[in-house]
Structure 1
Amino acid sequence: MRPDLDLKQLVIGAADAIIVCDAPGAIVFWNRSAERIFGFTEAEALGQSLDLIIPQRQRERHWEGYHKTMATAVTKYGADTLRVPALHKDGHTLSIAFTVSMLFSDDHKVTGIVAIVRDESARFAEMRDLRKRLVELESRNAGGDK
């Protein structure tokens, strides 16, 4: 067994997208699942800003938090799973869930951040439909009590 080879195979073949950005915010790693989820090839994504997948209305807030995190070396999210909208290459909106981890040099300077991302669009749509059905049922039951 070679741990470095095993790790590389794990990252490349992971079912979740693994995206690494440098401190300024350029994409420096984009695995096959990132291609599948977001529609951009590795060649299209590498070197690009995360704006590639961030909806316009979320960009200002994202970059404010990103730059603060890079400056302080602290993410307020820790092990929390974040759920946000994202963009697919064809323009449709995705619902994604992800965690982040800071990356550091040997001298403990921030070099970037890694995000492990899962497409939860189907689950989000299912939950939205269930909430809608629940409201309809509650409305019907409330109307029947009168």
Structure 2
Amino acid sequence: MQTSVDLQELVSAVGDAVVVSDVQGAIILWNKAAERMFGYTEAEALGQSLDLMIPEKLRARHWEGYQKTMETGITRYGSDVLQVPAIDKSGRQFSIAFTVSLLHSADGKVSAIASVMRDDTRRFEKDRAQRKRISELEALVARTEKLVGM
């Protein structure tokens, strides 16, 4: 039995942020989860540059990669999860994990980029704390070995 799925309802209902931007990087789709994550309403985000969620220090690198993707139609992030810093409306920086998909027009050219994102701050901080603890333990082992004469 085949059921019909309302794609607009799906995008609105999904728990992850869904953001679609056009060739120039203007936001053309912004779901409720994106509103919760970044603090901008759909009305505030639509038509705006992706810069509203990219920390200033990362913008040049982002736009270089964005333009290259638009020109070549190739992205290395289609199946890999990318983890980067982001900013919300209040200026708070946090970590996001996301994938991107290229959307194509009838002539086969890239017409938009769709991103599915989630706040990854807790996992990022947990990993950072774990790496710090491992480093501390390795330093302790090295000092102990030195004291014992190993």
Deviation at 1:65, TM superposition (A): 1.0
Does residue 78 (structure 1) correspond to residue 83 (structure 2)? The answer is no
Who is 2:22 aligned against?
22
Aligned counterpart, 1:2: 4
Secondary structure at the counterpart of residue 107 of structure 1: coil
CA RMSD of aligned residues (A): 1.3
Per mean C-alpha deviation after superposition, the further-off stretch among 116-125 and 127-136 is 127-136
Higher CA-based Rg: 2
TM-score by length of 1: 0.92
1:38 aligns with 2:38: yes
- Rounded to whole Å, the distance in 1 between the matches of 2:71 and 2:124 is 33
Determine the structure 1 residue equivalent to 2:104.
104
User: TM-score when scaled to structure 2?
Assistant: 0.89
- Structure 1 unpaired stretches of 5+: none
- Number of residue pairs the alignment of both structures matches: 144
Q: Which runs of 5+ in 2 are unaligned?
A: none
Write the deviation string for residues 15-39 of structure 1: whole angstroms up to 9, x where unpaired. 1110000111100001111111111
Which amino acid in structure 1 is aligned with residue 129 of structure 2? D
| Identity in percent | 53
**What whole-Å deviation, never above 9, does each CA across 1:96-133 have from its counterpart, x for those lacking one?**
11111111112212211100111100110111111112
Deviation at 1:144, TM superposition (A): 2.7
